Structure 1
Amino acid sequence: MADITDIKSIVYTEKTLGLQEEGVVVVQTSPRMTKTGLKEVFREYFGVIPTRINSLNQSGKTKRFRGVMGKQNDYKKFYVKLPEGAAIESMAV
């Protein structure tokens, strides 16, 4: 069962701000989140039922920190299309 704690953040970049004008929200989540789970979270916590959800798995980058190789965490990114005129509270930029 997915809940709001699986959502890590809403992504705010130059590209995603352009998408938000078209009603698409980009959400970064834990890798275990599914499309149906994310749809339930949006319906329950934001009161919006998404019209379309696209997902992609993002591998963590390999980085060097003080000479030691390490890896950032993997995450899943969702592109959530909201219905016409709908918005979520944290989208107000």
Structure 2
Amino acid sequence: MADITDIKTILYTEKTLGLGEDDVVVIQTSPSMTKNRLKEILKEYFGINPLRVNSLRMSGKVKRFKGKVGSRNDYKKFYVKLPEGASLENVGA
């Protein structure tokens, strides 16, 4: 069953805001999320049927802090093409 807690954030950067003009939203999720599960969540919680969903797996960046090596968490990014006029901002308001 799809769980909305797997969605970490909707990314708002200069690049993603430019994509927003073409009705594309970028969503950061846990690495275990699949396209079908994301579609289910968007239908169930937001009432939106996406036209297209593309995914991108991101590996956590290796960082050093006070000489110790660690890494950031892995995540997935989804580029979701929404129907014209649909938006995730004004849903549920």
Question: What TM bracket, shorter-length normalisation?
Answer: over 0.9
RMSD between superposed Cα atoms in Å: 1.3
Tell me which stretches of 4 or more aligned residues in structure 1 moved more than 4 Å. Answer: none
Count of aligned residue pairs for this structure pair: 91
SS at structure 2 position matched to 1:41:
helix
Task: Give distance in 1, aligned partners of 2:51 and 2:3.
Answer: 19
1:13–1:90 Cα change, 3 Å: farther
1:62-81 to 2 correspondence within 5 Å? 62-81=62-81
SS in 1 for 2:50: coil
Aligned residue in 1 for 2:55: 55
Q: Which runs of 5+ in 2 are unaligned?
A: none
Name the amino acid aligned to 1:88: L
Instruction: Give the letter aligned to residue 68 of structure 1.
Output: K
Matches within 5 A, 1:1-93: 1-89=1-89
Which is richer in helix? 1
Deviations 1:15-58 (A, max 9, x none): 00000111000000000000000000001111100000000100
TM-score, normalization by structure 2 = 0.93
Classify the secondary structure of the residue corresponding to 1:89.
coil
CA distance in 2, matches of 1:90, 1:74: 29
1:64 Cα deviation after fit: 0.4
Tell me: CA distance 1:57–1:90, structure 2 relative to 1, closer, same or farther (3 Å).
farther
2-structure distance, mates of 1:68, 1:14: 32
Percent sequence identity is: 69
